[in-house]
Amino acid sequence: MSGRSSDPVGPVDGRKVPRFAGSGSFARLPEIDRVPDYDVAVLGVPFDNGTSYRPGARFGPMAVRQASRHLRPGHHVELDCSPFTAIQVVDAGDVPVTPFSIEEAMGQIAAHAGDLLQGDRKVIAIGGDHTIALPMLRSVNRAHGPVALVHFDAHLDTWDTYFNAPTTHGTIFRRAFEENLLVEDHSIHVGIRGPIYGRADLDDDRRFGFRTIRASDLDDLGVQGTIGAITERVGDLPVYLSIDIDVLDPSFAPGTGTPEAGGLTSRELLRVLRGLTSLNLVSADLVEVSPAYDHAEITSIAAATVIFDIVALLGLRSLGSAGQDGLDAPGGGDERSSTGGRQHRRNRRDRAGRRYRHIWL
C-alpha cells in the first residue's frame, strides 16, 4: 500500500449530507475519476450466468451499494482505525459485462480488474455470483503470481463440471488449482456445510491442497482458534480473500442463490475477519448477494459491512499497526514480512493459554 494520497478523499460526511441522500457509490466514496489516484478500488461485477440454483446476483453490486448507505464509515470501532483517512479508496463502477457468454464475461472481468490492479493497487470486487472469483484470481496472478486463497463459503466450489459446463460458480477453485493460480497447500475453506453429491468431492478438494474449517468446527475451535488456523495456513503469502455471503446462515443472509442451513452468524464472520490483521491481502471479493430473495436488506447490509471490514484491514496494514480487536490483542512479537509490511503475528495460544486445536477435514 503506497499511501498514494497524503490526504485521501473519504466518503461523503453523513453529518452534512444525510446517509439516505446524495451519492450512490459504495459507502458514498468518490468515484474513480474524481481523485488523482487510489490504493483500493471497489468494483461491481454484475454477472450471474454461473449460478446453479437461484439467479439474480447480477443485482448484487447495486443492492450492496444501496445498503452501504447504512454504514458510518468514519471509524471502525473494533479495529480502532479510520481506514478512509489512511488509504484512498474509490468506487470504480461496474464491469460492463456481457450477460450472454460466460467465457467472454471472464475475459472482460479479468481485463477490467487487471487494469485496476496495476501498480500494486488492490481491488475489492462485489459480485455477481462466485464465478467472478476465477477472472479475479487470473488478474491477481498477473500482478502477484500464485496466491493463498482464504475462502469463506458454505460450499467447496471445487467441482469439476456441472451439466458439462467447466466454468460455473461451483467449479472455479478447481479451475484455479489447474491453472496454478494458488500456492500449493496454503489455501483454506471456512464455513463449509450441507450435503454434497458424493464423498469424492471431499477427496478431490483435499487433493487440490485445500484444508477446511467446517461451520461445525467453529463451535469447537471458537473464533480465536479459527483465526489462528487461517493465519497459520497462509503465513506471509499474498492472500486473495473470497467471501461467499452464503457462508452466513440463511437467517443472516436469505438473499443468496444457494442457501444452506447451519451457517455462521454475522457476528462470527465479522469477528473472524477482524482477527485477520496479519494477512497480506492483495485483493478480495464478496459474492452471491441475490437481492430478489433478500428481506429488509438483511443480506446486503451484512455484505456492505463485510466489505467495510476488508477495507479496514487494508487500512490497518497501510498504517503499519495491527490495532486492537477490542477483545484479544494480537499476541507474539512484531515481525517484518517478506513483503516488507509490518505485521503482528497471533500467538498460537488463546487468551487462556490453550493451544488452538486444528479440526480440519
Question: Which chain residues interact with Mn ion by CB under 5 A?
Answer: 130, 153-155, 157, 244, 246
Of 15, 16, 28, the closest CA to residue 67 belongs to: 28
Torsion angle in degrees (nearest 10) through CA of 164, 188, 106, 290 = 90
With respect to Mn ion, which residue has the nearer C-beta, 157 or 309?
A: 157
With respect to Mn ion, which residue has the nearer C-beta, 182 or 316?
A: 182
With respect to Mn ion, which residue has the nearer C-beta, 28 or 155?
A: 155
Of 138, 149, 124, 145, the closest CA to residue 65 belongs to: 124
With respect to Mn ion, which residue has the nearer C-beta, 246 or 325?
A: 246
With respect to Mn ion, which residue has the nearer C-beta, 12 or 298?
A: 298
Question: Hey, which bits of 168-237 come out as E strands?
Answer: 187-192, 210-214
With respect to Mn ion, which residue has the nearer C-beta, 130 or 144?
A: 130
Contact present, 128 and 63 (Cβ < 8 Å): no
> What pairing do the DSSP bridges indicate for beta strands 280-287 and 342-344?
unpaired
Nearest distance in Å: CB 287, Mn ion: 7
Rounded distance, CA 64 to CA 302, Å? 9
Nearest distance in Å: CB 170, Mn ion: 7
Q: How many helices and strands, by DSSP H and E, does the chain display?
A: 9, 10
Tell me the three cell numbers of residue 268: 462470527
Of 150, 127, 94, the closest CA to residue 257 belongs to: 127
Which strand (E) or helix (H) includes residue 62? helix 60-67
With respect to Mn ion, which residue has the nearer C-beta, 153 or 294?
A: 153
Q: Phi-psi bin for 230: left (phi > 0), alpha (psi -120 to 50), beta?
A: alpha
Nearest distance in Å: CB 144, Mn ion: 22
458424493: which residue's cell? Answer: 198
Taking CA atoms, 168 is separated from 13, 114, 176, 191, in Å, by 40, 21, 12, 20
Nearest distance in Å: CB 155, Mn ion: 4
Rounded distance, CA 130 to CA 141, Å? 18
Tell me the three cell numbers of residue 350: 488463546
282 φ, ψ to 5°?
-110, -20
Nearest distance in Å: CB 110, Mn ion: 18
With respect to Mn ion, which residue has the nearer C-beta, 39 or 153?
A: 153
> HSE (CB half, 13 Å, CA atoms) of 214?
13
Nearest distance in Å: CB 253, Mn ion: 10
Beta pairing partners, 126? 44, 286
Nearest distance in Å: CB 145, Mn ion: 24
With respect to Mn ion, which residue has the nearer C-beta, 244 or 309?
A: 244
With respect to Mn ion, which residue has the nearer C-beta, 89 or 106?
A: 106
Rounded distance, CA 105 to CA 82, Å? 35
Nearest distance in Å: CB 51, Mn ion: 10
Nearest distance in Å: CB 311, Mn ion: 22
Q: How far is CA 220 from the centre of its chain?
A: 24
